[in-house]
Amino acid sequence: MIHATKGIVLRTVKYGDTSVITTVYTELFGVQSYIVKGVRQSSKTSAGKAVYFQPAAILEMEVYHNELKQLQFVKEFQWAYLYERLLFDVLRNAVAMYVIELLQHSLKQPEANPELFYLIEDTLKQLDKGSDTLVANLPLYFILHLGSELGFQMQGTYHAQTPVLDLQEGIFILEKPAHPYYIAGQLAQIAGQLLSLQFYNDLDHISLNRQIRRELLQAFQTYIALHVADFGEMRSLGVLQEVLS
């Protein structure tokens, strides 16, 4: 059957002489792999179409879907959102590529999760149009909400009785745990502040220096890695930290 769905491109590789295989997080079906035929041809009808399948692209697609097959087919596609700055601005692009790689490592099953799709879509749009401060803080906000959508939301709040954030258990506690996966003091306080935010625009009002942002990003990534089996190593983390510095 043919279905209309939005999709966010996660990865694309060449296939044959003229086609691509693209991995897309779709609104209707979760993570799916598609063959897109002819988009690498040099003909008038195909020239430039491969650009639609670069990572972070947000598309409207008509797709064939058969649950018994691992590879599906795309019938039609067009932009669902056309970026103004994300693809050309170094900071915004670095954050977007980090978000996309984080999803590549975190999404292990194909099941649909519309709320997660909307989180990813909104995050990428905010990266495109938000202020530099919002963009710099957005990876921290996104990781916390990604954990929540994947089923391991952090619990509790930061205060004098719970000044330590246990990353392994995902909860604010009184004393440092026996394992090394925790943050305390100012880092835990800022984590609590980020967890309390309701809107992207609130990120404009959080001022972090380079070292604090670097340590928090590493801590939050550790939190995700502790809860996702076979998470692996993030290659874009170093690039993002360098750009944010």
From first to last of the 245 residues of the chain, give the pLDDT tens digit. 899 999 999 999 999 888 999 999 999 999 999 999 988 877 666 657 889 999 999 999 999 999 889 899 999 999 999 999 999 999 999 999 999 999 999 998 888 999 999 999 999 999 999 999 999 999 999 999 999 999 999 999 999 999 999 999 999 999 999 999 999 999 999 999 999 998 999 999 999 999 999 999 999 999 999 999 999 999 999 999 888 87
Distance CA 59, CA 67 (A): 21
CA distance 28 to 46: 27
Distance, C-alpha 81 to centroid of its chain: 17
Cα-Cα-Cα-Cα torsion 59, 13, 240, 60, nearest 10 degrees, comes to 0
pLDDT at 109 (0 to 100):
85
Where residue 47 falls (left for φ over 0; alpha for ψ -120 to 50; beta otherwise) is: beta
- Write down the pLDDT at residue 117: 97
CB of 174 closer than 8 Å to CB of 162: yes
Amino acid at 226: L
pLDDT of 68: 87
User: Which pLDDT score, from 0 to 100, does residue 85 have?
Assistant: 95
Nearest to 114 by CA among 228, 7, 10, 224: 7
Give the start-end residues of each E strand in the chain: 2-15, 19-26, 30-36, 58-64, 71-81, 164-166, 171-173, 182-184
The CATH number corresponding to 1-82 among 2.160.10.10, 3.40.640.10, 3.40.630.10, 2.40.50.140 equals: 2.40.50.140
User: Could you confirm whether domain 85-245 is CATH 3.40.50.150?
Assistant: no
Q: What is the pLDDT of residue 44?
A: 62
- At 244 the pLDDT is 84
pLDDT at 33: 96
> What residue ranges do the domains of the chain occupy?
1-82, 85-245
Which tokens go with 2? 């043919």
